[in-house]
Structure 1
């Protein structure tokens, strides 16, 4: 049990929002309204880490961890283990910008009573704030889901649409496309980024896109995944877009508009502008999955992180009639969170801690979190007997291998029941399945 002198300190830290904690950690605010993707300060990558100031949540797809408090975010970013008391208090110190109180400091009985009263008041306030945030987040989530439905439902199926760019995109990236209607296309899908002086979202770009649904266990549409397409930009065939960062705003720079010249290399390296991701999701992703081909009632499921890898693998094995092909959206949603005790040191990668000392990067282990919720990872139907998991060979190998092993354990049936067959299939080192398919199609 934590000693009284630090109890108020901890409660104060728990009251710190994700927004304030991100500022204290020096994380990047991308200029988007609420979602701020960026390289993970602990795991690296390009856009594997993100925090959302509206939902008061953070997530690291690389590490397979996330949460809804600043303490946990600080602990992850700084390589601290929040289950160790000293590390937990260090994370509290970071988000508060205050040193950990001296537990040896003496206090009078009156001071102690006053402090205990403040602790109780802070706890009650934290509980009330959490309830208010939960209601607000539920409203926000439902609005986002409705927006996702409004984007996806009016569009035409990629396979039969008169708009051919979706078929060309998958043909060039994956050597083919599925004979299915889950994936859809639109010629004029808006890319929203940033806000104007009144706080309204800005339409940065509008153009061709492939749109896929996120569905829950009841096959209900709860979100959508959008991939903007530019067939003139090989090898990814996606447009190049830029956004003004918070640092750029402070420097007095103007927002980048589509059609403008690209920002200078100096401005990009200084963090004044950033190249934006040309894949986005709307609505809810957590616990859901993206259907690609077949039906979820199939007894064999095949999928990994992204749509393109699932399509490439489906093309390679001839889109089996007994199979359902899917994508989880990202590695965290595929594997779920890890049990903290399973964390281990990366054999080679190191990063400086808050004191500048180089320490091994900690990797989320292969053991699934014991008390995780059903929607902490994508759902798998109870009837599924074989689950083929597709790994990415172009991601960091140790982290990916741990996450894939965790996914296999997470999605296995309980002991005592007939076990699923869950093979993990890896592409060639340094490749993903879509790159292998594209090179094979091109004969290179």
Structure 2
């Protein structure tokens, strides 16, 4: 690769994800840092997201993500970064500049000056990356402290006078654990957006189940919050909406909890948006959610989603020899994939940015080489049986690949790692709820 092209690539590496998202015409959601939306490449409803505070992006459908704008542009446009033309096309999109023409000659003086510029650019990129890392660590520590504040003052779910948490898990999972990991609060604030002075706004405050994220030292690094509405079957979670930037520009009123849902035309126009009824505070990186039992157990059972792990524990009658847990998401369970292991979905196809129908690319079953230990949830070294719970109502090929990658990532000599699958189209919580309804 010639120096001019190398400088072109280094310029692209310096572009923040926020700037690249604007050039890619991605959707910005209100005043939040996290911007979920359909993946331009894989489709879905909220499968893709970028975070302007953490300078990261992620596609759950494709099982891929990263912390640079080039990778995001390549994924959104179906470009192969392993090919030189794909890399340069992605850089061109990020920079909004033409790919350099290497046909021109340059003098020795020009070459020396260009190499100096390239070295300066590299040094600046390294300094900017270090500054972003310091900022992100400060942001994470503030979030961890907020998570500790949310979790610390709540009562254990099984002993709390407020019965919402027990009722929620009874209805979703046909039971709940007799353990103190899960907690419940009567008035947990749901923060969304900012007021005119830039202060965070509590959209509402209501009952919620709160679970900790813990690291290998068993210390809390974050928390997972599930707001509860026992009047809204079958998920029993509140229906929430937020005003977007476009809605604010149109001078629409902020949606308040208890209001009627926005009209469909406003939702389709992006003036209001659906908000998740689950949130994470603090950090989940390298952590997991404990549900029942003790981590000293040699048998661990868990997967994506608290409800799935609870339903499986209820079905097993909460075995004394088992530690039950949940991962924050599928990526936290399986870790990143080796880019070389990506493969085309056997049936799913999507149009790319140019309208060409292409197969949806799936993250492969081979873990990314040389991963950091906290790129995936931790599993204690003494565990000799790790039962991984799959989700049967997610896309089957992508989920199967991720579960195989999780098995490979957590494999150790002498460790058995079976994968338990629910019925197609179900998760274990849905199966438990259906069985409980039939038995009633």
Equivalent position to 2:422, from 404, 412, 427: 427
User: What whole-Å deviation, never above 9, does each CA across 1:386-429 have from its counterpart, x for those lacking one?
Assistant: 0000000000011000000000000001xxxx331101111110
Deviation of the 1:273 alpha carbon:
0.9
Distance 1:385 1:128 in 2: 44
User: What whole-Å deviation, never above 9, does each CA across 1:102-156 have from its counterpart, x for those lacking one?
Assistant: 2223334333333222212211111111111111111111010000000001100
Deviation of the 1:329 alpha carbon:
1.3
Would the aligned equivalents of 1:64 and 1:335 in 2 still touch at CA under 8 Å?
Answer: no
Question: What TM-score do you get using the length of structure 1 for normalisation?
Answer: 0.96
Distance 2:132 2:99 in 1: 28
Q: CA RMSD in A?
A: 1.4
Q: 3-state DSSP class of the match of 1:152? A: helix
Would the aligned equivalents of 2:182 and 2:291 in 1 still touch at CA under 8 Å?
Answer: yes
Aligned match of 2:226:
227
* Change beyond 3 A, Cα 1:296–1:44: farther
Would the aligned equivalents of 2:31 and 2:245 in 1 still touch at CA under 8 Å?
Answer: no
Deviation of the 1:95 alpha carbon:
1.1
Q: Does 1:437 align with 2:436?
A: no
Q: 3-state DSSP class of the match of 1:59? A: strand
Distance 1:39 1:300 in 2: 38
Q: Does 1:160 align with 2:155?
A: no
Q: How do 1:212-251 residues align onto structure 2 when only pairs under 5 Å count? A: 212-251=211-250
Q: 3-state DSSP class of the match of 1:194? A: strand
Aligned match of 2:352:
353
Q: How do 1:53-92 residues align onto structure 2 when only pairs under 5 Å count? A: 53-92=52-91
Q: Which moved more, 1:103-112 or 1:153-162?
A: 103-112
Deviation of the 1:202 alpha carbon:
1.1
* Change beyond 3 A, Cα 1:354–1:47: closer
User: What whole-Å deviation, never above 9, does each CA across 1:28-84 have from its counterpart, x for those lacking one?
Assistant: 211143122223333333333222111111222333322211111222222223222
Aligned match of 2:184:
185
Q: Does 1:318 align with 2:313?
A: no
Would the aligned equivalents of 2:182 and 2:212 in 1 still touch at CA under 8 Å?
Answer: yes
Distance 2:36 2:428 in 1: 25
Q: 3-state DSSP class of the match of 2:422? A: coil
Q: Which moved more, 1:107-116 or 1:152-161?
A: 107-116
Aligned match of 1:327:
326
Distance 2:4 2:316 in 1: 63
Aligned match of 1:393:
392
Distance 2:182 2:331 in 1: 22
Q: Which moved more, 1:283-292 or 1:256-265?
A: 256-265
User: What whole-Å deviation, never above 9, does each CA across 1:188-225 have from its counterpart, x for those lacking one?
Assistant: 00111111122111111110000000000110100000
Distance 1:255 1:111 in 2: 57
Distance 1:155 1:250 in 2: 39
How many residue pairs get matched?
439
Distance 1:293 1:24 in 2: 46
Would the aligned equivalents of 2:222 and 2:283 in 1 still touch at CA under 8 Å?
Answer: yes
Q: How do 1:224-303 residues align onto structure 2 when only pairs under 5 Å count? A: 224-303=223-302
Would the aligned equivalents of 2:393 and 2:427 in 1 still touch at CA under 8 Å?
Answer: yes
Q: Which moved more, 1:206-215 or 1:353-362?
A: 353-362
Would the aligned equivalents of 1:241 and 1:276 in 2 still touch at CA under 8 Å?
Answer: yes
Q: 3-state DSSP class of the match of 1:378? A: coil
Distance 1:51 1:308 in 2: 26
Distance 2:253 2:15 in 1: 32
Q: Does 1:96 align with 2:95?
A: yes
Question: What TM-score do you get using the length of structure 2 for normalisation?
Answer: 0.97
Aligned match of 1:12:
11
Deviation of the 1:18 alpha carbon:
1.2
Distance 2:76 2:296 in 1: 40
Q: 3-state DSSP class of the match of 1:439? A: helix
User: What whole-Å deviation, never above 9, does each CA across 1:276-319 have from its counterpart, x for those lacking one?
Assistant: 10000000001100001001111000001000000001111111
Distance 2:62 2:370 in 1: 18
Q: 3-state DSSP class of the match of 1:443? A: helix
Aligned match of 1:336:
335
Aligned match of 2:121:
122
